[in-house]
Amino acid sequence: MPTPTGPFNLATTYLKLRTDSLVDPLPVTPEFWQRLMSGALGDFKNERLVTMISFDASWPVAEMHPKGDEIVCLVSGRVTMVLETDGREQLAELGEPGAYVIVPKGTWHTARTSEPCRMFFITPGEGTEHRKIA
């Protein structure tokens, strides 16, 4: 069966960019993140997850992608991306739509903000790790 063509909204239907250059739309349900973490949506080996996420507070966790670089792009608002390099914080201020950072493979990172933000992510999902921020 062919993949539906849309229209979609990236805030409610994420994308899985597959290794065969095809795209799977992934509806965002209340169980989405649990299903993703459990492997129910695949292992994301050499694949990317494309999302657009809104938030209005700093992330309570840091994350790290061991299998590839992540692209993080500001759509609206203002945010500081915090990348941990050699035990030190590197801050990247994103203050205008279209500003982005490339988070290198294996780099722990988080976002800090105190205002509503919307961000676009292209994430190498395989093996992603999370840790609570102290």
**DSSP H or E segment with residue 19:** none
- Residue-range domains of the chain with CATH: 13-132 (2.60.120.10)
What pTM was estimated for this model as a whole? Answer: 0.91
Q: pLDDT tens digit string along 70-93?
A: 999 999 999 999 999 888 999 999
Average pLDDT estimate for 43-67 = 95
Cα angle value 66/97/118 (rounded, 5°): 60
Strands 100-103 and 13-17, bridge-based pairing: unpaired
3-state secondary structure of 52: strand
pLDDT at 130 exceeding the cut of 70: yes
Q: Alpha-carbon distance 74 to 7, whole Å? A: 22
3-state secondary structure of 66: coil
Task: Please give the mean pLDDT across all residues of the chain.
Answer: 93
